[in-house]
A and B are shown apart, each in its own frame.
Chain A
């Protein structure tokens, strides 16, 4: 089926897949209508989300996952909410542009979908989110610290979390033969309308699932994570365990900053020329003052309680019952970031062996 008559067919909620020689073809096509962001290896050697400039020849690295998830592209690290001129309060919604995030991994997409739910009525988040096209990419092997299969977030992109999905065709004798492009939403359909891609043969699903099996097989043993989840859900972790782990928490909030699902924020007033403006900025429940009231009362003055809170929110079945999934998407960024070595792996390993 040619891509330009797809819109009608997509209402039947079937997935359509197309053959694509190289991901760059899609990226360059999207640049005609979107400001495209993609993972780029920057000067520090880390990956970051950078704008792909029109006409610039930058190869797309399908394996590169930026240090930071795209969280702050929707839930800004710091943003103005409104201004006050002495008489009137005026909302300042963000100016948005039509964007495409190109090459987002399954874990980060799951996190965006989780945040979409949390911020569903937040005008600032939604202003950015609804203008953004998500192009996912299936992972072919475990990444450093990743454990997405244990928390049902990857390595294959869940179709409900992206508009378009890129998946490599199987590599036979070491030769990669190309890519499939799977179209999962109306927005995705519109984005590729006019590309005139060749429809894929029906076997693409089989091969995609086969690749997923291969990818899953590359993940290390996750017994302690499953065990840890059960213990946290059963509230079977003694207070002393949390307290001893808390000795390693510097309260730096690195885990919250890099966590794609952390959504806490604080606000402050900033003087501006005409009066003042209210800003909100990322906050972390691991900070000692997070729950401290003006009176000095602090329900979570004990560091162990705050560490317990963080992991309870990520792994407890209490939240699964409320939000439909774990608060953790298994990206392992907390382990990469934490200077005190209490990221998900180390915490769950400790808990599992209490």
Chain B
């Protein structure tokens, strides 16, 4: 049976980490010698998410920006966008909230492959724990991180650390007033060309950001014969349960909370197509007959194996 009741967690730290964005750290209130699953480092893997309850306002899904440490402390990067986060942003260290998890599928086991991480805006949060895991695994990835403006370049502490341990490219759309020079964020394709020329080829690509950006990245890569089976994405959907019951997070016949939130591009592509109107290829559908009939052209059948005898 699912336990739909949250575990009490205490907010132990919060700091500004971008425009309207705070980084939060939580820890379980009482462990009784054993960490609850939501805060257990053995149970949680990068890319998974948890449901955070803000008493009186409800519950929402947040990715683990950092997976739990041995004390059960874990982090989330949260933007103030609605009633629940308004209330959350009023919370102070010591306040008690609720958490359930971990839920969903995390990033895949990538072994010793060369990984390129591409993140846009708050999309850095779902990949951050994976970047750290790859660094620990001695296979530091190349990271490309892009945001609207310098103020939206989130996770500054982590990025400082990653500058030492990985190859980090940073880009912003709006360079105005920036404290230093960044890559031009709107030049996604050019930037990727540069990165691949300097550090490619890559075995796997992990990408998270706005859906438009992820789609652009996938098309860019597949157009260059990069196998779709090695592109990994993370989706965001509204969720009310995290366990496949409430129905909100559907994409075709999948539920993002249990089948995702991480997806392989070829599998996600299949799902996306399931929601689209599909017309069979015209020639195959008609086997040549319909066209011939309407155009009233006598003669050969268009297909060699349709069995019509023409």
CA distance A81 to B84 in the complex (A): 19
Is A266 in the interface zone, CB < 8 Å from B?
yes
B237 & A267 in contact (Cβ 8 Å cutoff): no
A292 & B4 in contact (Cβ 8 Å cutoff): no
B250 & A309 in contact (Cβ 8 Å cutoff): yes
Is B32 in the interface zone, CB < 8 Å from A?
no
Q: Which of A81, A84, A238 contacts B4 (CB 8 A)?
A: A81
Q: Hey, which chain B residues are within 8 Å of A264, CB to CB?
A: 246-248
Q: Hey, which chain B residues are within 8 Å of A84, CB to CB?
A: 53, 55, 98
Is A24 in the interface zone, CB < 8 Å from B?
no
Q: Hey, which chain A residues are within 8 Å of B249, CB to CB?
A: 291
Given contacts A265-B240, A299-B237, contact A90 B58 (CB under 8 A): no
* Bitwise interface map of A from 264 to 288 toward B, beta carbon under 8 Å scored 1, else 0: 1111110100011010100101000
* Bitwise interface map of B from 1 to 28 toward A, beta carbon under 8 Å scored 1, else 0: 1111111100000000000000000000
Is A319 in the interface zone, CB < 8 Å from B?
yes
Total residues of chain B contacting the partner, CB 8 A? 45
Which of B248, B249, B273 has the most A CB atoms < 10 Å from its CB?
A: B248
The tally of CB-CB contacts under 8 A between chains A and B is: 122
Q: Which of A87, A124, A237, A285 contacts B96 (CB 8 A)?
A: A87
A318 & B277 in contact (Cβ 8 Å cutoff): no
Chain A's closest residue to B7 (CB) is A89
A291 & B238 in contact (Cβ 8 Å cutoff): yes
B4 & A318 in contact (Cβ 8 Å cutoff): no
CA distance A319 to B245 in the complex (A): 15
Chain A's closest residue to B249 (CB) is A291
Total residues of chain A contacting the partner, CB 8 A? 53
Q: Hey, which chain B residues are within 8 Å of A276, CB to CB?
A: 55-56
Q: Hey, which chain A residues are within 8 Å of B236, CB to CB?
A: 293, 297
Given contacts A264-B248, A291-B238, A294-B85, contact A91 B5 (CB under 8 A): yes
Q: Hey, which chain B residues are within 8 Å of A263, CB to CB?
A: 245, 247
Which of B4, B247, B249, B251 has the most A CB atoms < 10 Å from its CB?
A: B247
Is A224 in the interface zone, CB < 8 Å from B?
no
Is A123 in the interface zone, CB < 8 Å from B?
yes
Q: Hey, which chain B residues are within 8 Å of A173, CB to CB?
A: none
B277 & A235 in contact (Cβ 8 Å cutoff): yes
Chain B's closest residue to A323 (CB) is B253
Q: Which of A234, A236, A265, A308 contacts B246 (CB 8 A)?
A: A265
Given contacts A266-B240, A267-B59, contact A126 B1 (CB under 8 A): yes
Chain B's closest residue to A238 (CB) is B277
Hey, which bits of chain B sit against chain A, CB under 8 A? 1-8, 29, 53, 55-60, 79, 81-82, 84-85, 96, 98, 236-238, 240-241, 243, 245-253, 273-279
